[in-house]
Chain A
């Protein structure tokens, strides 16, 4: 039965679903990369994802337009980001603790809204697979990469875009400077608050979309605690990826491939206790984090709030 794993169709299946499973991580982690590079640790990603997922699901269900769903997730995620920015930047609240607060808020509110507005688990018809002409016909590669839903393509395109913005633009320079030495940035007339507002709201929007990618593209349902820890993994992947978009991509792919392997192991009925199989990706995350985190320094001003004249 183990040998079933190594047949061509199964391998292709594992890889294709691995890439698909990576989408929510990619959106959330790339957004989180931006906030952390500017010095804000947002632990509320999970809460933002839950509310984004609910908003997307509910709007898609009622309007029967998936793009309205994505838009709703953007608005809700952005508002959550705005609140996080206000609390940490203007009120100088401790970032880690406020993040946990926003997580609990998102967890509770999304469940409440689910109970009141839906009541039961329903399904939507999510984003369909889009076959890219020509490319999707390439054997193996086509099946793995070019028969995915549109949110997968966007997520993958965001990686080089994020890299470019962070490293090759003046905006990226400001973001990195604010995260490394906000005093220096301030003394040159860069508004530390404005940059951090931008990155934290962007982070919220991306988390919202990450939620949408779960509820209207990947699973096509909404239920209580739909994300079940995914948002926290996304934060860990930013550390894993050493605050670099390509590193985050590598982490997201590795993690979701293991996850996908684990699912297939269960589907094929390979006799590994399912609890152990489910734990695999998480154990792997911890191991990898322990082994890699000391490699690169985090942004120097990460978690530090900034006030002029300190």
Chain B
């Protein structure tokens, strides 16, 4: 150990999963007291690399040095002992326990009997020091996502971590909470901590990082470059491997009749708490209505009530017919298509073939079925036609759907849902986790449906996606529609405020 060695030095790290080389000879150096951004698209291998630093995975080869000392972690405990703390992308919290209990879990202190009051105070002191406020006696499930993240950060700080890894911490936060998090990060580096900050958002890197490492498909494309020397455009290119210009051609056209109308719809979430509060929306033929908002503010429930998957109060009409609280088949018969949030759990049956998955909705319709029998030859022909038309890359129509990459799986779902010429399309996070090429294809397909006169409800946590595709934008926060604005005259700051639940504007 000596004082000039960097906080962390990872060299030639190789990590392989069955069929994927997640990290291919990756280098990363974290200097003392800096905020180091780790930038890359979804699936680039960022979490994998950091899980190795946190002791969750063991690299197949490569070395890790912490302040000059060669280390080899067999478990998270080893990493914690070296002062490394990680805030995971999916929070590692026990929902039924209190904040204090979550923070104390696994520590040697208290030894056996826990008198929590004493520790509540210790935690409050720590909160004071870093400006991370949350009531230590509350149960985790009662906290907002932003507060839960604070608990995660407190957990690492309480263990005396001085090297902090934050895996996409901003993905779940509203713009205001993001600002607060950045404040906290600065206050932590001021107090001598070093931070690795994972993101796939360029703007954030520019805002906060001292240096940046870029990963693409498991390979480093920029190694610890100072933010002074790089441009945003340059970073974008390193991240996706080519120039990215997202100008979607969205022609303006005449809108048709109202296709979907919902009035005063309220619904409960799975925990029985209110998730939608008096939501009234309407979408017209040829229109895309975008729903912007931070994840978990009622978006899933909104998609579910329209498609008949969740009970609600209030009324929902498709082309004049009421479909609220009816079985899903009713909505399907009225021309509702659904691109669900979860591609593998809801959107497809991963172990069934492409063919089985494509006919899942239309298996009764002639010529594929006659009501009780299925003509598999016709079904296969139908599927291979779709496969060509939508450019789905797969070995054959008999391949299990689960073997497809995310982008191709999503195209398969779209092919199924679009091919029946829907009158109303609910698209939930249609491009999440896809690579740039697939994102462009999917967006183009949505716009094509729009010009064919479909009414589309686009629910997305990517503000940029909502802004570029929608004709009108409704902002949702805590289950309430905070306001609806025309995409012609959006004010990003205003939308940001509404996403944080700050302001109610109705036009």
Contacts and interface: CB of A to CB of B under 8 A. Distances in A.
Interface string B43-58: 0000000010010110
Interface in B100-120: 101-102, 104-107, 110-114
Interface in A264-310: 300, 308-309
A143 interface: no
Given A181-B94, A309-B57, A189 B114 contact: no
A40 B163 CA distance: 35
Given A169-B112, A170-B114, A173-B97, A187 B86 contact: yes
B97 A187 contact: no
Given A180-B94, A180-B96, A188-B155, A171 B56 contact: no
B95 interface: yes
| Chain A residues touching B, range | 20 to 34
B69 to A, nearest CB: 19
A190 B97 contact: no
Interface string A161-193: 000000011110110110011011111111100
A308 B155 CA distance: 20
A169 B113 contact: yes
B56 A185 contact: no
A120 B54 CA distance: 62
B93 interface: yes
Contacts of A309: 51, 56-57
B97 A177 contact: yes
Contacts of B101: 173, 177
A174 B77 CA distance: 14
Contacts of B501: none
B75 A189 contact: yes
Summarize A's interface: helix, strand, loop or mixed: helix
B105 A174 contact: yes
A185 B102 CA distance: 9
A307 to B, nearest CB: 12
Contacts of A300: 95-96
B95 A181 contact: yes
A186 B55 CA distance: 10
A186 B86 CA distance: 13
A173 B104 contact: yes
Contacts of B86: 187
Contacts of B114: 168-170, 173
A2 B451 CA distance: 82
Contacts of B160: none
Contacts of B51: 309
A189 B110 contact: no
B83 interface: no
B94 A184 contact: yes
B137 to A, nearest CB: 15
Contacts of A187: 54, 56, 76, 86, 88, 92
B11 to A, nearest CB: 22
A170 B112 CA distance: 5
Contacts of A186: 75-76
Given A174-B105, A181-B93, A188-B105, 19 more contacts: A173-B101, A173-B104, A177-B97, A177-B105, A180-B95, A181-B92, A183-B92, A184-B91, A184-B94, A184-B102, A186-B75, A187-B76, A188-B77, A188-B92, A189-B77, A190-B105, A300-B95, A309-B51, A309-B56
Interface of A: 168-171, 173-174, 176-177, 180-181, 183-191, 300, 308-309
25 contacts: A168-B113, A169-B113, A169-B114, A170-B104, A173-B97, A173-B105, A173-B114, A174-B106, A176-B97, A177-B101, A177-B105, A180-B97, A181-B92, A184-B94, A187-B76, A187-B92, A188-B105, A188-B106, A188-B107, A188-B155, A189-B76, A189-B106, A309-B51, A309-B56, A309-B57
